[in-house]
Structure 1
Amino acid sequence: MIQIEELKEKVLAGYQLSYEEGVELYHAKDKEALYRAADEIREHFCGNTIDLCSITNAKSGRCPQDCKWCSQSRHYATQVEEYEVVDRKEAVDQALVSASKGVKRHSLVTSGRRVYNKTLDQLIPIYKEIKEKTNLSLCASMGLIDEGQLRRLQEEVGIEHYHCNLETAPSYFPEVVSTHSIEEKIITIKTAQKLGIKVCSGGIIGMGETAEHRVELAATLAKLGVHSIPINILTPVEGTPLEGSEMLPEEDILATFAVFRFMNPKANIRFAGGRIQIKSYQHKALRAGVSAALTGDYLTTTGSKIEDDLRDFQEAGFTIDN
């Protein structure tokens, strides 16, 4: 039988859990003990602060990739809004609102396999204006970006973080995407890290994967040394292959947060897409290892209002890291 307290003490002392130990933890019968231990690990390594970030959908739709969950794929008939590049004033205004409410970091996110230089030329001035008008730390999420483009973002606008989700376990990835590989994503992550850029990378749960797949993803991210791990809960989109997916039970979602914390003790385990679905027990997740949140609206779905998040997190005993 897995000894939760014993493993917690080992993690606090610097031990890295194995995949096998992570699977045992996930299936531990005493889930409340698992959540409590994950919360103690979070407090030890991350304190009682919540790291907030926000995003702007800077290029929407028309994506040639076939990710089965995504409303922006041109392979599926969805009602997503399509545009090549976001209006500059609109993007800057969104960032200004986030900064005024205490958000720490902001990202421009583009649809597609990778960002083209023509698009990057249009986005860099947006970043520059955001940097001139706010104290926001800047992030980018632009697919399988190359080293030269990353250097431009780093040197011209001071990008500090790059986001590239692995999405799911390496062994399950081909079940949900066929137009690119997880190995390409890992190359992107390592390229960013080589340049000294911190990486945000997580995944989506509830896409038909097993508990073992979720632990495999957590172990892969630990091996990569990822700084921030957003955990998205699938929001089934009409028209996509996953439109009929059932939401995971509460216990599975909370166990995922907890095991990710055990296996990535120093990382920011981040609320991300689909969080509105767990509002009724969000407070439990906050005490199961979570230390960060993507706040405001997401790419093509409604998120949680920044004001509501500030209130909820502070009522739960956290301060906002800004």
Structure 2
Amino acid sequence: MTRLETLTRQVLDGQEITRQEALELYEQPLEELCRCADQIRRHFCGTRFDLCTIINGKSGKCSENCRFCAQSAHNHTGAAEYPLLSAEELTAQARVNRDQGVLRYSIVTSGKRLSSGEVDALCEAIRQIRSEVGISVCVSAGLLDEEQYRRLKEAGAERAHNNLETSCRNFPNVCTTHTFDDKVAAIRAAQAAGLTVCSGGIMGLGETVEDRIDMALSLRELGIKSVPVNMLNPIPGTPLAQNEPLGGDELLRITAVYRFLLPDASIRLAGGRGLLEDKGRGCFQSGANAAISGDMLTTAGITVETDLRLLQELGYEVRL
């Protein structure tokens, strides 16, 4: 039995992969690695596929200096700037997404955190969406505390999103206006409030292979079951504008290793997927079983219709 087959059997038997074993996996032949990752995905997740859409609910003028972000006030990108959208606007877009066959809708807001008044307004929007549309609602509202998350949950939100972005070691190279520990505290606050959490990161920030694995291990320790894997789409005007986007094979390898580390999670292709020649097909056959469809926050995405057609072809069922 090869080393890859041994590690695959280990995961299928319910044993966790160590950091060193993940590094070994990263060096395995790509085609065989992807095949084994897909075997693990089928074993733990079956044909379920978690498809969601996002709306840029509040845009620009963010106080944080995240080096990848078009919405940071520290960067000069020409990104749109507007306050929190009204409950009517957020509800109307939720209805559009539901009618296209989407089951989960995420409201994403710029800024370090929403104010108390903005949380109240978002709660009203969530109540309206749940009453009039019925779609599952996720919120991405920054570094909120437990009480704020509890209000959102009581309004009808089911999930909170807060990306770690990268490893603890590499985080200061990405952002210095808040910390990795601030991120972890917000995630734990959301969990304490009874929300499930969606958290992942961005590949192509200048991180090492070890950073990618360490972030996955942090997510595993936090019990995260929805893991966005973004590929940096370098935005002119940001400090990372000159970074070369990762190649498709590199994202396949990341996706496959993440499946070994997070065997029962929804591994979600997110930002940057449109840069891939196959729009993610290979990753959906290599361990990934979730995606953000439609437009991203400041860049164009892939239409829901196109994604649904691909997923049907690959034998997936879109369900929560």
Scaled by the length of structure 2, what TM-score is found? 0.97
Q: For each residue in 1:56-111, what CA deviation from the matched residue of structure 2 results, as whole angstroms up to 9, or x when unmatched?
A: 11110000100000000000111100011114333212111111122111111111
Superposition deviation, residue 47 in structure 1 = 0.8
1:114–1:143 Cα contact (<8 Å) kept: yes
Question: Separation in 2 of the partners of 1:90 and 1:281?
Answer: 29
Choose the corresponding residue for 2:213, options 215, 231, 250: 215
Question: Separation in 2 of the partners of 1:71 and 1:196?
Answer: 31
Letter in structure 1 aligned against 2:94: A
Question: Separation in 2 of the partners of 1:90 and 1:194?
Answer: 30
1:169–1:216 Cα contact (<8 Å) kept: yes
Question: Separation in 2 of the partners of 1:138 and 1:128?
Answer: 10
Output aligned runs, 1:160-179, within 5 Å: 160-179=158-177
1:236–1:244 Cα contact (<8 Å) kept: yes
Identify which range, 223-232 or 100-109, moves more after superposition.
100-109
Identify which range, 174-183 or 246-255, moves more after superposition.
246-255
Cα distance change on mapping 1:118 and 1:286 into 2, 3 Å: same
Question: Separation in 2 of the partners of 1:153 and 1:169?
Answer: 28
Question: Separation in 1 of the partners of 2:46 and 2:133?
Answer: 26
1:2–1:25 Cα contact (<8 Å) kept: no
Number of paired residues?
Answer: 320
Question: Separation in 1 of the partners of 2:75 and 2:192?
Answer: 36
Residue 225 of structure 2 corresponds to which residue in structure 1?
227
Residue 251 in 1 paired to residue 249 in 2? Answer: yes
Cα root mean square deviation, aligned: 1.4
Scaled by the length of structure 1, what TM-score is found? 0.96
Output aligned runs, 1:1-322, within 5 Å: 3-28=3-28, 30-155=29-154, 157-280=155-278, 282-321=280-319
Letter in structure 2 aligned against 1:95: A
Question: Separation in 1 of the partners of 2:280 and 2:122?
Answer: 34
Percent pairwise identity = 43
Structure 2 gap segments, 5+ residues each: none
Question: What secondary structure is seen at the aligned counterpart in 2 of 1:98?
Answer: helix
Question: Separation in 1 of the partners of 2:287 and 2:59?
Answer: 32
Question: What secondary structure is seen at the aligned counterpart in 1 of 2:278?
Answer: helix
Cα distance change on mapping 1:215 and 1:2 into 2, 3 Å: farther
Structure 1 gap segments, 5+ residues each: none
Superposition deviation, residue 163 in structure 1 = 0.4
Question: Separation in 2 of the partners of 1:159 and 1:2?
Answer: 45
Question: What secondary structure is seen at the aligned counterpart in 2 of 1:284?
Answer: helix
Letter in structure 2 aligned against 1:50: F
Question: Separation in 2 of the partners of 1:214 and 1:183?
Answer: 17
2:269–2:280 Cα contact (<8 Å) kept: no
Question: Separation in 1 of the partners of 2:147 and 2:64?
Answer: 23
